Amino acid sequence: MSKERTFSIIKPDGVSRNLIGKIIARFESEGLFVVGAKMKQLSRHEAEGFYAVHSTRPFYAELVNSMCSGPVLLMVLEGENAILKNREIMGATNPADALDNTLRKLYALSIGENTVHGSDAPDTAQNEIAWFFAASELANNQ
């Protein structure tokens, strides 16, 4: 076990349905600490850059549109094995495949509007955190 940081987004469909509190409460109940948070309306440029790895996929335009459709809550979560733990709490990309009681099973509307994002590996976690947060915006007292 090792303490890690991961990057989390509550996507526009989660923010607009007033799910911020329920989602953060779940992270906290599973031992993840919020060490950075801010609400932001992503520009098209930011959403395109963030999901650039998917730029050749057929769903890319829909994904970018949906990420820009309203404000998101950007967060850095810290805890033991935070990257994998967050992915387990979120559940599978497609809510139809997500296990019971995962955030996507509970809240996702569709594979496109699946309520939360989480980094998938240490290198992406580090890059995604640095993309949105300055070191001075992160707590370091957990």
- What is the contact surface with ligand ATP in residues (CB under 6 A)? 54, 59, 62-63, 93, 111-112, 114, 117-118, 120
- Cβ proximity of 98 and 105 under 8 Å: yes
Write out the E strands in the chain. 3-10, 33-40, 72-80, 116-118
- Least distance (Å) from ligand ATP to the CB of residue 73? 14
Active site residue 117: yes
Catalytic residue among 5, 11, 87, 117: 117
- Least distance (Å) from ligand ATP to the CB of residue 51? 6
With respect to ligand ATP, which residue has the nearer C-beta, 62 or 139? 62
With respect to ligand ATP, which residue has the nearer C-beta, 111 or 138? 111
Please tell me the distance from the alpha carbon of residue 29 to that of residue 12, in angstroms, as a whole number.
Answer: 23
- The region that residue 106 occupies, defined by phi over 0 for left and psi between -120 and 50 for alpha, beta otherwise, is alpha
